[in-house]
Amino acid sequence: MVEAKSSSKEVISNNNFFHPLDPLSFDEINKTTKIVKNNANLGKELLFETIMLIEPPKEEVLAFKIGDQIIRKALVVVLNFKEEKIYELDINLNYEKIERCEHIPNVQTAFIFGDLEMDFNEWESKMKHDPKVVEALKNRGIENPDLLQIDPWPISNFGNENEEGKRLAIGRCWIRREPGDNAYARPIEGLSIILDLNKNEVVEIQDFGEISIPPNDGNYSQKYQKKFRTDLKPLEIIQPEGPSFEVKGNNVKWQKWNMRIGFTKREGLVIHNIGYEDEGKLRPIIYRASLSEMIVPYGDPTNDHYKKQVFDAGEVGIGKCANSLELGCDCLGEIRYFDGVLFDIRGEASVIKNAICMHEEDYGILWKHTDTRTGEVETRRSRRLVVSSIATVGNYEYGFFWYFYQDGGIEYEIKLTGIVNSAGVAPGIKPKHGTLVAPQVVAHNHQHFFNVRLDMMVDGINNSAYEIDTILDPKSEENKHGNAFSTKKTLIENESDGVRIVDPFSARSWAITNNSKKNYMGEPVSYKIFPGENVLPFSHKDSVVNKRAGFMNGHLWVTPFNDKELYASGDYPQQHPGGDGLPKWIKEKRDIKDKDLIVWYTLGHTHIPRLEDWPVMPVAYTGFSIKPSGFFDKNPALDVPPSANDKCNSHCKCC
């Protein structure tokens, strides 16, 4: 991670670290790769899947002071694609040595396309012009393979013996009418290409029967629009004195918030050391927050659509798919961008410009009261800090937004847009498991599940988790009229009991509490997790997808801190049969009372496509919030100043 204002030359020469959690720099990534290639003796046919910072022990980070020595270490995952072997290495960059080199058997890396001589576009071109593919296209009357679009999808794991030990993908196919139009409007239904990613070759064509290509275009880009609305007046966001946040390296201060911005190839946006200043003291809330995993299971059983269950983080990489964001389109106002420093498959450092956007937004009323006796009106407007990143994974876009509010609240929101995954059907067929969005084009029913890993540190490391339900009090002499209700607070003492489900009928929430710290009223301080929209998976318990993505079956999971447990479905979900990650870890039945806790929150969004989702989908929203509950002694936003707004137009009487 580097500041976006740096030139490429400055990026390369940036070796000044403000903090031990700063992501690996451009130079460090290249240095890491050089150490591996020169000293690991793993062969010349190495492809790099992971290069990321090994974060120092938490106690060292919390004790760090400017000027202290920083030990920089990198985790590397490489694939020798000729030998089909995967290795993990720990690299000490200070001493330029390999501290661990371990062969990891019986797993597959996240997607890597191509080899040392070709990138993804060259790889796709090679697949499109494979004789088996060309012949299959000709059988369907398609003469020009250059117009073919192949989207490689994970193949999942359905226990097929001929797939065991191979690094495979399914190539799903669409055909453009002309270069640059929307290929998703014309799926080549029934044609699946099985790809061996180690050998970079087509190993099989699976043909489920020919269906004619849908007839209509589905173009949405501006070059295809005949006219635009003309009745929109300008809407300007102006901050003449600049933004209210301060940035030093990766550290951000805004209002009373303090945090560090990070970025990884798998998780994308990561935020460390989130704290809020209260009465001059910075109080910690979350040590590390990130997207742990996500999966998109589809609900159509035909052909090989049942294999659509993509781990977009673990099998693809959210950071790798991050967009370079643009002012005025993705973000508005006074923007501070951060670049993402990543690497290509050869291990050479690369930069995603403007991978992260940070800005302020007006968010309506923060608090208000009118004293009807005195006529005094007090209103404060809410402003929030927005830290966001957007990733394109094939046909879909995902926007990941962290919001920080002046009252100490935090919100995590995911914005879903892009193009619904399309398949073809025969004329006159009305599909059961999806929606016809155009003649012969079906968008299948599907779900999106996201798991967010929260390394909680509410006023200190040792926390406890409680489930809070609102309950109806029984009728009694005390409750004669049957109107009384109260709350029930249940301590989650063991991680095996820490798999919880939302319950909107009890207004269920979860409190992360520091029992050693008390508020003004003598109660332990807490932050609460409040669910937003959520669902459970619409798949059977013994289904393949439920085994592989067990985190979907609980909305809240609580485990003790373990720096090796970062991803809800384990380190290597690609072609994994299942059972790894959270369902495996909680079998240890570890104590989680007054411990260093990890809270894993799962969001589920069900998408039954609408006609209005075609040809490009309006944004859908899902998320949850994290709010103080007895953390402060009173409303922490009392000191937000009244607005001084003289910018209303001449007809406005409200200012």
Which 3 state secondary structure label does DSSP give 606?
A: strand
- Closest Cα partner for 450 from 506, 393, 496? 393
Say if residues 404 and 419 touch (Cβ distance below 8 Å): no
Say if residues 199 and 166 touch (Cβ distance below 8 Å): no
Q: Which residues contact 372 (CB under 8 A, 6 or more apart)?
A: none
Q: Which of 22, 181, 312, 571 is catalytic?
A: 312
Q: Which residues contact 86 (CB under 8 A, 6 or more apart)?
A: 49, 77, 78, 79, 80, 103, 104, 105, 107, 108, 109
- Closest Cα partner for 45 from 142, 118, 116? 116
Say if residues 599 and 529 touch (Cβ distance below 8 Å): yes
- Tell me phi and psi for residue 353, to 5 degrees: -65, 140
**At residue 294, what is the residue type?**
M
CA 565 to chain centroid, in Å, comes to 17
Query: Per the structure block, which two tokens stand in for 135?
Result: 């012949």
Strands 268-278 and 441-444: what pairing?
unpaired
Measuring CA to CA, how many Å separate 389 from each of 153, 290, 354, 355? 23, 12, 9, 6
224 catalytic? Reply is: no
Q: Which of 87, 396, 572, 601 is catalytic?
A: 396
Q: How far apart are the first and last CA of the chain?
A: 42
Q: Which residues contact 283 (CB under 8 A, 6 or more apart)?
A: 275, 276, 277, 459, 631
Q: How far apart are CA 393 and CA 252, in angstroms?
A: 29
Provide the residue count of the chain: 655
Q: How far apart are CA 107 and CA 119, in angstroms?
A: 23
- Tell me phi and psi for residue 167, to 5 degrees: -95, 105
Say if residues 637 and 567 touch (Cβ distance below 8 Å): no
312 catalytic? Reply is: yes
Which 3 state secondary structure label does DSSP give 50?
A: strand
Helix, strand and coil content of the chain, in percent to the nearest 5, comes to 15, 40, 45
Query: 10 Å Cβ neighbour count for 117?
Result: 9
User: Which residues are designated catalytic?
Assistant: 312, 396
